[in-house]
Amino acid sequence: DAGITQSPRYKITETGRQVTLMCHQTWSHSYMFWYRQDLGHGLRLIYYSAAADITDKGEVPDGYVVSRSKTENFPLTLESATRSQTSVYFCASGALLNSPLHFGNGTRLTVT
């Protein structure tokens, strides 16, 4: 089925651990985004990618790493998780910058 899939849906990890959140889309959209959502802050942009091998920082990139070796995948890695990174993470994709975004179901990450 066409769509955008995030995994895992839920993740609990310990402070200092490395965690990777996966995002896969089947539309061959050029643009992909990672957002985090916390109460009172709405969706804050972490990183985005305009095409394979092109990534750029958003509003809150510190502590995160991304890669995009293939158009359909855009993993987000927390190199050394901190409690402040406890959040709901959404991946989204769009055909063009001015296209509406399609969102995955989100990953709820808890760092203990």
In this complex, which beta carbon is closest to other proteins, that of residue 3 or of residue 16?
3
DSSP characters over 73-96: B--EEESS--GGG-EEEEEEEESS
Give yes or no for residue 58 binding other proteins (CB under 8 A): yes
Of 21, 68, 76, 90, the one binding other proteins (CB under 8 A) is 90
Q: Which stretch binds other proteins (CB under 8 A): 12-20, 38-46, 64-72, 74-82?
A: 38-46
**Cα separations in angstroms, 103 against 32, 35, 51, 62, 111:** 10, 10, 17, 22, 23
**Alpha helix locations (H) across 3-108?**
none
Of 11, 22, 45, 63, the one binding other proteins (CB under 8 A) is 45
Of 11, 20, 30, 44, the one binding other proteins (CB under 8 A) is 44
Contact 112, 16 (CB under 8 A): no
Give yes or no for residue 33 binding other proteins (CB under 8 A): yes
CA distance 72 to 58: 20
Interface residue list for other proteins (CB under 8 A): 31, 33, 35, 40-45, 48, 50, 56, 58-59, 90, 92, 94, 97-101, 103-106
